[in-house]
Amino acid sequence: MNDSIVSTIFDKCKRCYSCIRECPAKAIKVINGQAAVISERCIVCGHCVKVCSQNAKKIADDLFVIFDDLLPNYPVAAVVAPSFAASFPKEYTKLPAALKKIGFSYIVETAFGADLVSELYLKEFESENKQTIISSSCPAVVNYIEKYRGSLVPNLAKIVSPMIAIGRYLKSNSKENLKVVFIGPCVAKKQEYLSPEVEGAIDAVLTFSELKKIFKHQNINLNELAEIDFDPPHAFMGKSYSLAGGMLKTANISGDILEKEIIVVEGKSKVLEIIDEIADNQINAKFVDILFCEGCISGPAIDSDLNYYSKREKVIKYIEQKVHTIDKQLWKSNIYNSRDLNLTREFSEKNQRKPLPPEEKIKEILAETNKFSSKDELNCGACGYSTCREYAVAIAKDLAEKEMCLPFLIDKLGKAYDDLKDTQEQLQSAEKLASIGQLAAGVAHEINNPLGTIILYASMLKKELEQKIDHSQNSEDLSLILDEANRCKNIVANLLNFARQGKINVTKINVSKLLAKIIKTAKLNFAYKKIEIKSETLNQEYIIEGDEDQIQQVFINLINNACEAMEESSEKCLSLKLYVEGDFLITEICDTGQGIQKENFGKVFTPFFTTKKIGKGTGLGLAISYGIIKMHNGFINFHSEFGKGTTFKVKLPVNVNKQLINSEIKVN
């Protein structure tokens, strides 16, 4: 892409995609969010340069060739495009003097080249050619037809542009080794003069924008210079070539609004429409004059703050000033003496069209960007393409990226934000659990010793009291002490269990059988007799690797919690579901209990948090379950609606040996 006339300055490109929106050839490929120009597809119309607010598009220049090679060593003629009055509206009469000051030997109007080729256009129009003739003066139009509408190449008038015509004229009439530099508003001219079909006519190209920078660099103030005329040959109506319909005026071809055989088209959207209609045989006109810009006065390098009508007015004013002062006889003589000058050229198809991808591929790409039906296709244009379908086609052609779709990107960022929030919450919980685990381990060991003593002596006292006659009250009190002491012992055991770090005894686990065994035990519990237990997919085998005792503890905790949550529910239904998703086995445990209040969502896996009645829970079950699942590199989360029920989802890797990274594992 380095040989492009137009290229991207990636450091300045800001992902606005304005250039894609304006590029008629879709010659811009997005790479990591940056809009890179594809040189072989580019028609060098310069629209991307005009719309880039960040100045991220660069135009190749010939400054080195002009100032280091041509001007120091040769006589050089500067041929100036007829739109110069629109680019230099206040000082256009001083332009020839300024160019002489730079070092050009001759300053000539390109408009004389327009006068030369207009004779050929008149002959084309008067010929018996039955196909629609398309003017070939605009190089961007020529490039577009050669690359994207090859069937219309025969329709192009085999006539050189005014730039090439004046270059050939000057060189054929010069006894010196004359070099010619074209100066104008058109970026496509930089590519045209290098084309093998017209090679040698022009030696370099400058845009008006570049010329103004040269004036600034060399401290040339046009207002301080004298007014001098252009060097001969002087142009006649070729001066109007920069205006829409100017070619018809120069060739004296009728451009009446009711004329059916002639169509004048200017501007990108209209040009693309007329080219499509000619290709589809919808146009019967004999001749179509096409300019990719709204006249050359709106060229990408015109570099003027004036609006379209003011620029047009400036060019017309210049024409009116000069057209009556020209020596008409001398002009006719110059035209006649050039009758043997070769002003023709050939065009060839340079197909850059990519085949339309299959419909299935387009639908697949649309689905990947969350567009599953026509209602999902917003056609907002944020990606630079007019429709979502066109954008999907561009992705299939490797010209675009999915991240260019703003609605898709917003959804993706929203999900990423939610995931990040969840991860942060899980990280905070994990840090909290780790701290509590370390504390619990130390505290549990310290409490175990006095607890053992309390239980021992309480048992001894109870045994001694039972041997006495009146011992009932004291014995009951001691029983209560023993029960509470044993409960404390269980809490301490749970704390130690919770504090275990990364100790996993890996075996093959048949999760279906494990759950079936737990359900069978739950059904024997009298408190759960009224609960309907549905176990979907438990008749299939689901094998994972992990610590069976620990995984069993997790499922027992979750199933018991679900059953206890339905104590006061009118509908009591516990359902279990198993399925594989990617590399994970998913277990869903759903109840129809009272649900979890929203304000408690962040506390569910926190140690010692419980909503159960006093004496029914320690608040360690879910905290321990969370730790066990995390040690297995799995995930545990829940969805709950208060008053409707809760669903816990446990994700465990199918192959723990592949998934576990930091855990200390003993494999049987």
% of the chain beyond a pLDDT of 70: 88
Helix/strand number for the chain, H first, E second: 23, 19
- Note whether 557 and 615 are same-domain residues: yes
376 and 433: one domain?
Answer: no
**303 lies in the same domain as 277:** yes
The total number of residues written for the chain in this structure: 668
Average pLDDT value for residue range 135-162: 94
CA quadruple 16, 17, 22, 27: dihedral positive or negative?
A: positive
Tell me, rounded to whole angstroms, the distance of Cα 217 from its chain centroid. Answer: 39
DSSP 307-362: -HHHHHHHHHHHHHHHHTTS-HHHHHHHHHHTTTS--B--------PPPPPPHHHH
Examine the fold and report which residue of 337, 369, 388 is the final residue of a domain before the chain moves on. Answer: 337
Task: Tell me, yes or no, whether 67 and 45 share the same domain.
Answer: no
Q: Is residue 349 part of a domain?
A: no
Distance, in Å, from the CA atom of 590 to the CA atom of 572, rounded to the nearest integer, reads 11
Q: Give the whole-angstrom CA distance, residue 292 versus residue 285.
A: 19
pLDDT in tens, 392-439: 888 888 888 877 878 888 888 888 888 788 777 767 766 666 666 666
Residue 22 is part of which domain span?
Answer: 1-57
In the 8-state DSSP scheme, what is residue 555? H
Residue 523 lies in a domain: yes
Tell me whether residue 411 is in a domain.
Answer: no
461 falls within a domain: yes
Which residues neighbour 647 within 8 Å (Cβ) at sequence distance 6 or greater?
Answer: 588, 589, 590, 591, 638, 639, 640
Whether the CA torsion 360, 362, 367, 368 is positive or negative: it is positive
Residues 277 and 425 placed together within one structural domain of the fold: no
Asked whether residue 446 carries a pLDDT value surpassing 90, the answer given is: no
Domain holding 424: CATH number? Answer: 1.10.287
Q: Are residues 256 and 321 in the same domain?
A: yes
Note whether residue 409 is domain-resident: no
- How does residue 365 score in pLDDT terms, banded at 50, 70 and 90? confident
The answer to whether residue 290 sits within a structural domain is yes
In a domain, 493, yes or no: yes
Looking at 287, 310, 337, the residue that finishes a domain is 337
Top-confidence residue, 220 or 242: 220
Q: CA angle at residue 451 from 448 to 455, to 5 degrees?
A: 135
pLDDT band at 159 (very low <50, low <70, confident <90, very high): very high
Same domain, 309 and 178: yes
Residues 68 and 126 in one domain: yes
Asked if residue 344 belongs to a domain, the reply is: no
Question: Does one domain contain both 285 and 385?
Answer: no
Q: Are residues 155 and 304 in the same domain?
A: yes
Domain endpoint, select from 26, 57, 88: 57
Q: Residue 648: which CATH number? A: 3.30.565.10
Tell me the C-alpha distance between 631 and 634, whole Å: 7
Quick one: 281 and 368 in the same domain?
no
CA distance 38 to 243: 30
The lowest-confidence range among 16-20, 37-41, 187-191 is 16-20
The more confident residue out of 505 and 259 is 505
pLDDT in tens, 493-540: 666 665 554 567 788 899 988 888 888 888 888 888 888 888 876 777
Predicted pLDDT at 130: 78
**Count of domains observed in the chain:** 5
> Where residue 43 sits, what CATH number does that domain have?
3.30.70.20
**Pair 364, 475 in one domain:** no
